[in-house]
Amino acid sequence: MREKVSNFSFYRVFSLLSVFILAGCASSRVEEYRSIETGLAFEEAMVLLGRATYSDNETEESFTDCMADSLSKGERPIRVFSQTKFKDDFYPWFEPRVEPTSAEDLRELFVQPGVRERITERNIRYIVWIEGDTVRIDDGGTMSCTIGPWGGGCLGFSYWEEDASYKATIWDLERMISAGQISTDSKGTSYIAGVIIPIPILARPGNAACNALATQLKQFLLGS
């Protein structure tokens, strides 16, 4: 009987810990600017491109993958053309060194041999540029861990605060102009408490920003 109670307590603590690990708190703020009306026919597609720079700050591929996944699922899924395939199909025009920086550059790009034809073949209506990154803005606390032949353990407490700030710029390839911008800012503080085993309570502001931006982008393109 005692063993059963012990097992029950273990599972209860384990479940509680899992909830803490998965449900760290992150808050998001979204802003939208629209310059023209938009719409997306069923057979039309969009492509998400992460802005690449040669500095430390570059949109993570995992962020654009997360957004593509979120946009292509749910009630009104959008056909999202693969970023890798797009860059290969339109090489060299979307490499970091030469990629267009404003919607005005589109006209010049569409004059290049084969570009307009390939866009039409693939039925791509929008290019959405994603800019931004997730950075650590604060941290503190101390935790020490020891490993020895007898085993190991941690003791202490530490935290870190992250800020995920991203902007989506939507280019309409049919009208060759910028259709608008959506920006999101998510913040969250994660903790690790070390009581022999380290117990993480993770906020995932990057994930929150991805979901917030994808939801707003879907509304922007399809209407509410």
**Which positions touch other proteins (CB under 8 A)?**
54, 56, 58, 60-61, 84, 87-93, 95-98, 112-115, 118, 147, 149, 151-152
CB of 3 or CB of 108, closer to other proteins: 108
CB of 77 or CB of 114, closer to other proteins: 114
CB of 140 or CB of 151, closer to other proteins: 151
CB of 4 or CB of 97, closer to other proteins: 97
Minimum Å distance from CB 125 to other proteins? Answer: 20
Record the tokens describing residue 5, joined without a space. 């109670």
Minimum Å distance from CB 14 to other proteins? Answer: 20
From residue 123, alpha-carbon distances to 80, 106, 117, 120, 137 in Å are 11, 16, 10, 5, 41
Minimum Å distance from CB 133 to other proteins? Answer: 10
Minimum Å distance from CB 185 to other proteins? Answer: 21
Q: Please spell the DSSP secondary structure of 60-92, one letter per residue.
A: -HHHHHHHHHHHTSSSS--EEE-HHHHHHHTTT
Contacts of 55 (CB under 8 A, 6+ apart): none
Q: How many residues does the chain have?
A: 224
Are 199 and 20 contacting, i.e. CB atoms less than 8 angstroms apart? yes
Strand 151-172 and strand 124-148: pairing?
A: antiparallel
Minimum Å distance from CB 65 to other proteins? Answer: 13
CB of 114 or CB of 200, closer to other proteins: 114
- CA–CA gap between residue 21 and residue 191 (Å, rounded): 9
